[in-house]
Amino acid sequence: MDDAAIQATGLVKHFGETVAVDGVNLVVQRGQVLGLLGPNGAGKTTMVRMLATLTRPDAGAAKVGGHDVIEQAHEVRGKIGLTGQFASIDDRLTGRENLFLIGRLLGFTRAQARSRAAELLNRFQLDDAADRPAQSYSGGMRRRLDLAASLVGQPEILFLDEPSTGLDPRARRQLWTLIRELVSDGVTVLLTTQYLDEADTLADEIVVIDHGKVIAAGTPEAIKRRIGARTLVLGLVDSTRLDLAATILAGVSGQDPDRQGERLSVSLSGHSMLPALIRALDESGIEVDELVLKDPSLDEVFLSLTGQPAPPETMNPEAS
Amino acid sequence: MKASSPGLARSLDQTFSLAWRSLVQLRRNPWELGDYSFQPVLFLLLFVYIFGGAIAGSTDEYLTFMLPGIVVMNMMFVTVYIGHGLNTDLTRGYFDRLRAMPVARWAPLAGRILADLVKQAWSIVLLLGLGFLLGFRLETSVFGLLAMCVLVLVFALAFSWVMILVGILARDPEHVQIFGFTALFPVTFVSNVFVPIETLPVWLQGIVSANPVSVLTDACRGLLLGGPVWSPILISLIWSLAFAALFIPLSLMALRKRLGH
């Protein structure tokens, strides 16, 4: 356990009367990705802030990179990179200047800071925009620059607080690729997210928190097993055959499919149901125009883990 | 938070880098640069040529009277930007990025203050330069001129902490600007910057002569034009000390609170 990259024991943080984090334990092994999953206000950001030495815990202890976050904050800061929820870059500097400044602050010489900036701009596909002020960047570009800024010092441990919030699907996938590359370079990552699919794609282990407490932890597979079903959504070439298709799906799955507009959806159980459904449709000569597999939404996750839906203000239309 | 910190040389280096950042920002924001440059120039020209004749009998005499005062007034307004910049960093998360890095705890503030002094020096030089072009005559010595610049910068350094506190407490950068300018207009106008104290109603004269803006303006006039200087210089320095002694601890406390310690 001693060589864990991040180790937190009984972390507690109050803000006035509110308990933001209520006794969280957490271990992230070196080179691993931990996904901290939860709705808005669950305490994810406060956890990250405590581990990144920005907020002092009221109780509990944490070691990051082998150093205590309170007693050895300066040493911790030398090992981490932090990309917050809102891209914290300087809008009035160019992308290149932003990275150059971070390099200088970390003690690089001018030449080193310049070459590190160029290297990161290239790696994050920001070459073309390198000399434009960051305020002209798109959301995805800003996020990439923000991530690049966190990487100037080649941190061992990277905190990503809701890295893909507000990004379009393409920018999101681009970001995921970048994160995977970092992980393959050996960086330990703690990422917070509201999306199960994001945690599923990136994380080796998921910790689900709500109201400052851990309510589930395990590998993505284990979490998904506990949560259960994915959903198959179908659209037909010939929508006049929807009724027939619905009857066939009901026969194979043993449940009445949901019908939304011209689409049918069935929740899947077991690994043989999907091929069975497709085979049955094919045998009746029904042509499929659209086929989507949906992970449970965060709300469904919470429903199955806590027996209660996630608090309404956290419902996110993008979560699917 | 308690922690070992980077060495002094590294900390100073970080301060300079952060000051560089504040100054490079100006390039992307001509509007802010305008506030340090064109606005005071416009003020100077308008007051001298529109009101000069009516107030002082001639534009030349009014220029002589007003130039030291407008340097002081402009210095006050420029301090608003330190609060504005600090608040921008706090609300946009940039301050957090710096705090999560092995950067000296005081470097972000020190960098801003240093950059602010450069901006202050720039506007003093600009205003004095324009004043000389328009016919202002230095009646003391170069030493007096330098002493005046140093005195204004010392006062700016101390008074900046008032705006640093505003920058820490305000919800967003716009509020810093609104509050800063709204508060500074009466403070700078209810002074001897534009008119001699003797021309004011008696009840107002007490307030105006107690105003640190008037005291500093008196000191600057004395240093550029001759006359008694030691008393206003001393009182200006006492005011500076008082601003620093009150607002540095208040600002640091407010910052600690805002950062959630």
**If we measure between CA atoms, which residue out of B234, B236, B239 comes closest to residue B217?**
B236
CATH superfamily of A6-225: P-loop containing nucleotide triphosphate hydrolases (3.40.50.300)
Between B25 and A83, the more confident residue is A83
pLDDT for res A314: 44
Which chain A residues are Cβ-neighbours of B100 within 8 angstroms? Answer: 52-54, 77, 80, 82
Indicate the residue of B10, B28, B93 with minimum beta-carbon distance to A88. B93
Summarize pLDDT for A107-142 with one digit per residue, the tens.
Answer: 999 999 999 999 999 999 999 999 999 999 998 899
User: pLDDT grade, residue A174 (50/70/90)?
Assistant: confident
A 130-169 near B (Cβ less than 8 A): 133, 135, 149, 153
Q: Which chain A residues are closer than 8 Å to B5 by Cβ? A: 74
Pairing of strands A231-236, A288-294: antiparallel
Contact yes or no for B21 and A82 at CB 8 A? no
The number of angstroms, rounded, from the C-alpha of B192 to the middle of its chain's C-alpha atoms is 17
Which H helix or E strand runs over B145? helix B142-169
Among A15, A82, A92, select the one facing B28 at the smallest CB separation. A92
Positions of E strands within chain A: 6-15, 18-28, 33-37, 59-64, 67-68, 80-83, 157-161, 188-193, 205-210, 213-218, 231-236, 258-260, 263-267, 288-294
Say if residues B193 and B213 touch (Cβ distance below 8 Å).
yes
CB spacing of B2 vs A105 below 8 angstroms: no
Distance CA B72, CA B214 (A): 9
> Residues in chain B whose beta carbon is closer than 8 A to a beta carbon of chain A?
1-6, 10, 13-14, 17-18, 20-21, 24-25, 28-29, 92-94, 96-103, 259-261
The pLDDT tens digits of the residues spanning B131-175 come to 999 989 999 999 999 999 999 999 999 999 999 999 999 999 999
User: How open is the CA angle B186-B112-B191, to the nearest 5 degrees?
Assistant: 20
Distance from CA of A107 to the nearest CA of B (A): 7
Mean pLDDT on B91-103: 92
Paired with A265 in beta bridges are A233, A258
Closest partner residue to A105 (CB to CB) among B2, B17, B24 is B17
Q: Where are the alpha helices (DSSP H) in A92-168?
A: 95-105, 110-123, 139-151
| Chain B residues closer than 8 Å to A12 by CB | none
Mean pLDDT of B10-30: 88
Place A313 in a pLDDT band, splitting at 50, 70 and 90.
very low
Query: At B98, which amino acid appears?
Result: L
Bridge partners for A205 per DSSP? A34
Kindly list the residues from chain A whose CB atom is less than 8 angstroms away from the CB atom of residue B14.
Answer: 104-105
Name the residue among A77, A87, A92 with its Cβ closest to that of B101: A77
Residue A151 has pLDDT above 50, yes or no: yes
Minimal-distance CA residue of chain A relative to B9 = A107
- For A45-96, the pLDDT digits (tens) are 999 999 999 999 999 999 999 999 999 999 999 999 999 777 689 988 999 9
With cut-offs at 50, 70 and 90, classify the pLDDT of residue A238. confident
With bands split at pLDDT 50, 70 and 90, how would you rate the model's confidence at A320? Answer: very low
Q: Between B3, B17, B21, which is nearest A73 by CB?
A: B3
Q: What is the pLDDT of residue A308?
A: 65
Q: Which residues of B touch A72 (CB under 8 A)?
A: 3-4
CB–CB contacts below 8 A, A to B: 95
Mutate to test the interface with B, among A14, A15, A105 (most CBs of B within 10 A): A105
In the β-sheet with A67-68, what is the strand arrangement from edge to edge? A18-28, A6-15, A59-64, A67-68
Mean pLDDT of A270-286: 87
Whether residue B102 and residue A77 make contact (CB cut-off 8 A), yes or no, is yes
Contact A55 B4 (CB under 8 A): no
The predicted pLDDT at position A318 comes to 37
Q: Which residues of B touch A95 (CB under 8 A)?
A: none
Q: Does the ipTM surpass 0.85?
A: yes
Mean pLDDT of the region A235-253: 87
Structural domain boundaries in chain B: 8-258
pLDDT digits (tens, 9 = 90+) for B220-236: 999 999 888 999 999 99
